Amino acid sequence: MLSGAMQKTRSAAFSVPLPAASGPSLRPDEYPDKLDAALFRIAGVCGLACIMAVLDSTVVAVAQRTFIAQFGSTQAVVSWTIAGYMLAFATVIPITGWAADRFGTKRLFIGSVLIFTLGSLLCAMAPNILLLILFRVVQGIGGGMLLPLSFVILTREAGPKRVGRLMAVGGIPILLGPIGGPILGGWLIGAYGWKWIFLINLPIGLTALAFAAIMFPKDRSAPTEALDITGALLLSPGVAIFLCGVCSIPGRHTIADRYVLVPALVGLGLIAAFILHACYRTDHPLIDLRLFRNPVVTQVNLTLLVFGAASVGIGLLVPSFFQIVGHETPMQSGLHMLPIGIGAVLTMPLGGAFMDKRGPGNIVLIGLPLMAVGLGVFTYGVARQAAYSPVLVTGLAIMGLGIGLTTTPLSAALMQALAPHQVARGTTLISVNQQVGGSIGAALMAVILTNQFNRNEALMAANEMSGERPGVGKRDLPVDPSAVPRHQPAPDLASHVSHHLAHAYTAVFVLAAALVAFTIIPASFLPKKPPALPADE
């Protein structure tokens, strides 16, 4: 695409020898040990593009009520601006590994940024809610490839000896995206209108395009490899349909519902069919399941599955707690999440450096207990109905320290264990795994929280006294104590509501802490020393 002409204009600052972004790379022992300026620039470009995709999902969540008012729609329809994006995101992930090998990571990265940026422009111009949902799907197609592609690019550029440190640097903006999203979204909508939550992606996307064209090394793709069409037709729809069923759980408030079970079972059937297909296909399956013969691949994927379920659930529950129990705006709840981001930023570089020298197992077994302790402290504050107190701040900060010591080593451990030609398919594997684990965890915690609400008589009474007809519309929604009418018979009902809301959140946070603690079991099998440099064959 742009790479041919732009590659010739690369300045001397970027002319240090680098491995190809696709195809044959340097031998593992030929990579230098220190991070150089060119690597930092490449990590910056990857982070810039990825933060668009990560920010966009949280920014749009803030705009849901605005969309309902702007387009005269309903919550059920407007929620597809998030669901459509995430399903498109999940659908393209399985083919990313093949596409990276077939077309080259540079071309595919530029194409993905272009699709995402174009989708953002179309979203800002959408005249109705249906077209907005359609254009969000376009965004999801581009965004779904950006994260796994960035992992591939960073791994191939850094080599196994530097991948932990480089991914720690590149992962910081991605980690801060969910925290900054509500803050940015609330400010943009209030100051400039909803269109600007999409228009802001244009300068970011165009900047990432220009720098990627200049800084990324030239592709050497493998055009002879054919797409596993059968695998693509089984796995991509299978993952998307399964996630569609899982994501319906919170709205149906149970797993035993046909709108949950039918798509979930159909999706699982397609995934099972893909597994059988991949086991018997010897030439380039869409995801090479033979990677699981490497014990590190199995250990990392099991750990990431449980960790993804816990961390995504926590990422949704903590802001929800501040908004529902603390009566705060999304922007305020985003500001209250800053201790997590600060803690993670402090420890991510340390985790990456420690992992490169000592292996992933040791540092992850420090990070996960820290995260569990922080969540325990936060849960204690929730149970005591503390406001935004030192107890909650301390818990969030300790959680952030643990997250920073866990996320990068887990992803980088897999990259270290793979030969260069396996990196693209390995990245696809963990990306699918994280999507599935995160969706299951979020749905499970949402259902438990809703059931806690619906079993409580005080919450049900407040729901029916909050200005709507009994049993209509708001029965299954969390209750805002400030909405309880002043003329209620029991003057202390609002206090009871706050108490029971805190109790409901406490139960779910205890489950999340248990999941984090359980993650320590598969993590204990991770390598405790740097792996031998993988062969390139």
Distance (Å, rounded) from C-alpha 321 to C-alpha 19? Answer: 46
What was the pLDDT predicted at 156? 76
Amino acid 486: pLDDT: 41
Q: How far apart are CA 241 and CA 91, in angstroms?
A: 9
- Residue 445 CB contacts under 8 Å (≥ 6 apart), including other chains: 313, 316, 317, 508, 511, 512
CA distances from 482 to 152, 326, 444, 487 (A): 49, 10, 27, 13
Q: Are 217 and 107 in contact (CB under 8 A)?
A: no
Nearest to residue 341, comparing CAs of 54, 144, 140? 54
pLDDT at site 440: 82
**pLDDT score at 502:** 81
Low-confidence ranges of the chain (pLDDT < 70): 1-33, 35, 159-161, 163-164, 168-171, 174, 178, 220-225, 250-251, 253, 282, 386-388, 454-497, 531-537
> Model's pTM, two decimal places?
0.75
